Amino acid sequence: MNTLYNKHILLGITGSIAAYKSAELTRRLKELGADIRVVMTTSATRFITPLTLQALSGHPVNTDLLDTDAEAAMGHIELARWADLILVAPASADFLARLTAGRANDLLSAICLASYSPIAVAPAMNQGMWENKATQDNINTLQQRDIHFMGPGHGSQACGETGAGRMIEPEQIIARTLPLFTSGALSGKKIIITAGPTREAIDPVRYISNHSSGKMGFAIAEAAANAGADVTLVCGPTQLTAYPDSIQRIDVITASQMYQSVMDNLSDCDIFIASAAVADYRPGLQAVNKIKKQHDEMQLRLVKTPDILASVASQTDAPYTVGFAAETENVLEYARKKRQKKGIDMIVANKVGPTSGFNQDNNELDVIWQEGHIHLNLNSKKTLARDLIQIITEKINAIDTTQNTGLKTR
């Protein structure tokens, strides 16, 4: 079973006798397919060795905020962006206090402060510490900030006392972790997503294409499927694997094939997201044989490819349409104009640059619709995909509500 395949989980371990259970937790999370990076506080290393967790996670364990070697390999901001979920188990009373206060005085709390990803904690402490008003106030504050609490359990404790404060068992933590990656927010909705580049042949050995990796579109497909949608992913040539298995993947090569494939699947589609970098032009004629090198100059006649996004948007009963705009300058202005020109509901603009855009794991987006705009800070494409799906879900729900009440349509 690979339920957590492709999920990046940063496992934080703090100083508690329950830290020995984190070894089993790491093993189980790995078994479910998750990629685990372990960050330990100094006191956690007194209970269980980093070497154990390194062996189980398959990655070096990070412990020190000021370790230049570790920072050079994967720095604390990079770890914060990498994580789809930060799971702190065990979470000590002191760690909860640091998290509440927004401290960044050690690696784990600094990562939590810098991250936009969900955080879950499995508390472990003496029952008196748990009951204490200070801890309870911290818990209230953290819950208001949407920190997920897993436990604690109730029973006899290592110190000999009995009460609430035991870390729940690894199996119970896993059972509470799985739902954090899924929701039914888009269940019953059919979504078509285009992703990756297209290839337009010049002759049997050459083609016109672009640097698109397909990572953004695949991340959107995963986020949509995890939200319960019925997802069809129409993708150009890419090395990527679509996950989860429920995604219906259709591989194409050219813009015309992508157009045809989208049109063939469009009936009952609720949302269309065009993240593919479709070639705008293709060679007018594809040479049957390899073109020989002859003259100093040669001319290639190009003809326009069908605009898939604009075509979908112009259908009667069009789905909610979302396009992408990769720009190198004046991002917002160009994107707004493009949204109107193509007649689409929403456009997602990104600046193509050295740290975001094509072939990168990170991106920075501006999401623009008729009445508003939201900026999504530089983050992993997977996190941005989840945020984008959430924004689209809110828009779809608003449309469904207004249509049902007959107030207004989009």
**Closest to 34 measured CA to CA, from 87, 101, 76, 111:** 87
Cβ–Cβ < 8 Å for 56, 88: no
Candidate ranges 29-37, 233-241, 305-313, 401-409; the one touching ligand C5P (CB under 6 A): 305-313
The separation between CA 168 and the C-alpha centre of its own chain, rounded to angstroms, equals 28
Residue of the chain from 220, 242, 274, 385 that contacts ligand C5P (CB under 6 A): 274
Burial of 115 (0-12, 13-18, 19+ CB in 10 A): buried
Beta strands in 41-197 (DSSP E): 85-91, 119-123, 148-149, 153-156, 162-166, 190-195
Candidate list 112, 159, 235, 269, residue with the active-site label: 159
The single-letter DSSP state of residue 115 is: -
Candidate ranges 81-89, 106-114, 156-164, 274-282; the one touching ligand C5P (CB under 6 A): 274-282
Residue of the chain from 109, 126, 226, 305 that contacts ligand C5P (CB under 6 A): 305
Cβ–Cβ < 8 Å for 285, 301: yes
Burial of 60 (0-12, 13-18, 19+ CB in 10 A): middle
159 is catalytic: yes
Residues within window 275-294 making contact with ligand C5P, judged by CB under 6 A: 276, 278, 280
Cβ–Cβ < 8 Å for 118, 180: yes
Cβ–Cβ < 8 Å for 362, 352: no
Rounded least distance, CB 272 to ligand C5P, Å: 9
Amino acid at 378: L
Structure tokens at 201: 């042949």
Candidate ranges 35-43, 126-134, 299-307, 364-372; the one touching ligand C5P (CB under 6 A): 299-307
Candidate ranges 48-56, 71-79, 129-137, 317-325; the one touching ligand C5P (CB under 6 A): 317-325
The residue (of 91 and 278) whose beta carbon lies closer to ligand C5P is 278
Structure tokens at 376: 């999504």
Total of residues contacting ligand C5P (CB under 6 A)? 15
By CB under 6 A, tell whether 252 contacts ligand C5P. Answer: no
By CB under 6 A, tell whether 200 contacts ligand C5P. Answer: no
Cβ–Cβ < 8 Å for 27, 58: no
By CB under 6 A, tell whether 221 contacts ligand C5P. Answer: no
By CB under 6 A, tell whether 214 contacts ligand C5P. Answer: no
By CB under 6 A, tell whether 272 contacts ligand C5P. Answer: no
The residue (of 35 and 200) whose beta carbon lies closer to ligand C5P is 200
Q: At which residue do the structure tokens 């979470």 appear?
A: 91
The residue (of 290 and 341) whose beta carbon lies closer to ligand C5P is 341
By CB under 6 A, tell whether 125 contacts ligand C5P. Answer: no
What residue ranges bind ligand C5P (CB under 6 A)?
A: 194, 255, 274, 276, 278, 280, 305-309, 323-325, 338
Active site residues: 159
